[in-house]
Amino acid sequence: MAARRLVTALTVFSRCLKDARDLVDDARKWSIPTQPGARAQISPQRRTLIEIAFLRAFSGWEIFLEETFLLYLLGHQPPKGRAPRRYGFPPNKVAASEWCTEGREYARWHVADVRRRADRWFQHGKPFTPALQGQQHRLDQLATIRNAIAMNPRPLASNLKLSSGMNFKHCRRILRLAVSW
């Protein structure tokens, strides 16, 4: 039962990435010129759809991190292997969530925050710290892009020259890492 919740979290995240990727593909198809040599029909709209897809994928990643962190903190066992050794034993999901927010309105799920929290609540930060450690720079870049889109979409996104293919490739790599947890 417990492993099923972790698998469900992974499935939901995987579906979120697929939906975001499909939105990007559709945006590209819709902007293909109808005649050879013609300009793309909806270039600004395509960029907006790609930004929305990126935001959805990134939000899905944060939701996945939060859900799996809370489940492991509650003692859930992964589909394969042992449950991580915990230093704390919250009585329920609400308490576990409060431990993660550390008195704030919501928990931050940036890599550095997750690693710090994982090192506090799990032996050797496992399974989070080892999996995130090698990807910290890329995940920080993704967070920077997310912030650029969310705070001031038009100028910042164009300055960043947002390449959705690159970012979704990183998301897929992250997903593969998550599967190994």
Could you give the percent of the chain with pLDDT greater than 90? 46
What is the SS3 assignment for 32-79?
A: CCCCCCCCCCCHHHHHHHHHHHHHHHHHHHHHHHHHHHHHHHCCCCCC
Q: 36-58 pLDDT, tens per residue? A: 776 666 667 777 888 888 899 99
The pTM of the full predicted model, rounded to 2 decimals, is 0.79
According to the per-residue pLDDT averaged within each range, which of 25-29, 41-45, 74-78 is highest? 74-78
**pLDDT mean over 166-176:** 51
Considering the chain, what is the average pLDDT of its residues?
Answer: 81
